[in-house]
Amino acid sequence: MRPAFSVLLLTTLIGAAQGLFIALFLCELLAPSAATPTLLVGGSVIVLLLSGLGLLASFFHLGHPERAWRSMMMWRTSWLSREVIALPAFMAAAFAYGVAHWLALGHTLLIGVIGVVLSITLFICTGMIYAAVKVLKEWAHPLTLVNFSLLGCASGMTLAAAYASFVAPTLTAPLAQAAFVLTALGLLTRGAALVRNAKLSPASTLQTAIGIRHPHIVQKAQGAMGGSYNTREFFHGKSVGFVRAIVPAFLVLSFALPLLLVLTLPLLAFILQYAGLLAERWYFFAEAKHPQNLYYQGNS
């Protein structure tokens, strides 16, 4: 698949936002005294900022952003539709949470619970958008969901630690430790997905694609020499070497370095981790081999 930058931004930004929100809520729940309004209100602002940016980025992915509201219609069948509902709902909860803390309106735990539920729902929706594309075997697996959630939580937690280091230093250490654990877990599950995907054998072959059983089939023409949507959208357009190089890059950036740094330099850890996750997401797309590509292999 071709990684669309808008989607990379969307998923990484809201993932971090969701993780951050959960972190804030946990702070309030487990360390009510240390969780100052500055932390919680400011944190909520960051959550909103990140998810707002994500939402904005997502519009760039749409052909008709002015009709985006329509995408809520099919929540019964479409995970994308569900995401489109869950994201604003989550943002609303984060907003309410922040406002409630700011204006000391109370019910913050209840709002927090709702927010956390929505955050988890949103993780599920986002993950399922990909996991539900059955034809993409690399994606169609629970690990996709797990990774979206864990990596979101990890980056959110790292961000929380970084933010806490400025406004609530006492919370920095526990948050960083949590981030460490989540990042380590993320490394495990993401690693598992890498290992799994490396071993995948495609369900579809050129033989099933055109219905001819013969070991030697070579495409000579795609029907359009100047290319088409189908030759663009489903190919990353980068060399094999480049794609391969991305893996160690994102492993180092999103996992190794944050693990090293989060306990000491959480802000740097977050910046590196976020950059790493962009690379991770890029690879997530590039790695997915769409069976439609069987029809777009050779040209003349």
* DSSP secondary structure, 116-163, as one string: HHHHHHHHHHHHHHHHT-TT-TTTSSHHHHHHHHHHHHHHHHHHHHHH
Taking CB atoms within 8 Å and a gap of at least 24, the contacts of 112-118 are: 112/24, 112/25, 112/28, 112/29, 113/25, 115/21, 115/25, 115/90, 116/21, 116/22, 116/25, 118/86, 118/89, 118/90, 118/93
Q: CA Rg, the chain, in Å?
A: 21
Which residues in this chain contact other proteins in the complex, by CB under 8 A?
Answer: 1, 61-65, 67-68, 70-74, 77-81, 84, 129, 132-136, 203-204, 206, 208-212, 214, 216-230, 233-234, 290-293, 295-296, 300
Specify the residue for token string 């030759």: 231
Give min distance, CB of 6 to other proteins, in A. Answer: 10
CB 49, min distance to other proteins, A:
24
| Cβ atoms < 10 Å from Cβ of 29 | 13
> Which lies closer to other proteins via its Cβ, residue 38 or residue 207?
207
Closer residue to other proteins (CB): 32 or 227: 227
Of the candidates 30, 147, 173, 25, which has an alpha carbon nearest to the alpha carbon of residue 93? 25
Q: What tokens were used for 7? A: 């989607």
Q: Minimal distance in Å, beta carbon 148 to other proteins?
A: 16
Q: Which is nearer to other proteins, 68 or 110 (CB)?
A: 68
Question: In this complex, which beta carbon is closest to other proteins, that of residue 95 or of residue 284?
Answer: 284
**Beta carbon nearer to other proteins, 102 or 295:** 295
Least distance (Å) between residue 297 CB and other proteins: 9
Q: Which is nearer to other proteins, 199 or 220 (CB)?
A: 220
Smallest gap, in angstroms, from Cβ of residue 3 to other proteins?
12
* Total residues found in the chain within this entry: 300
CA 18 to chain centre: 10
- Distance of closest approach, residue 151 Cβ to other proteins, in angstroms: 21
* CA atoms of 120 and 126, how far apart (whole Å): 10
C-beta of 142: minimal distance to other proteins in Å?
A: 18
What is the Cα–Cα distance from 171 to 252, expressed in whole angstroms?
Answer: 26
- For other proteins, which is the closer residue by CB, 67 or 264? 67
Q: What's CA 176's distance to the chain center, in Å?
A: 20
CA distances from 272 to 49, 203, 223, 227, 248 (A): 19, 36, 44, 37, 14
Minimum distance from CB of 78 to other proteins (Å)?
5
Query: Among residues 101 and 281, whose Cβ is nearest to other proteins?
Result: 281
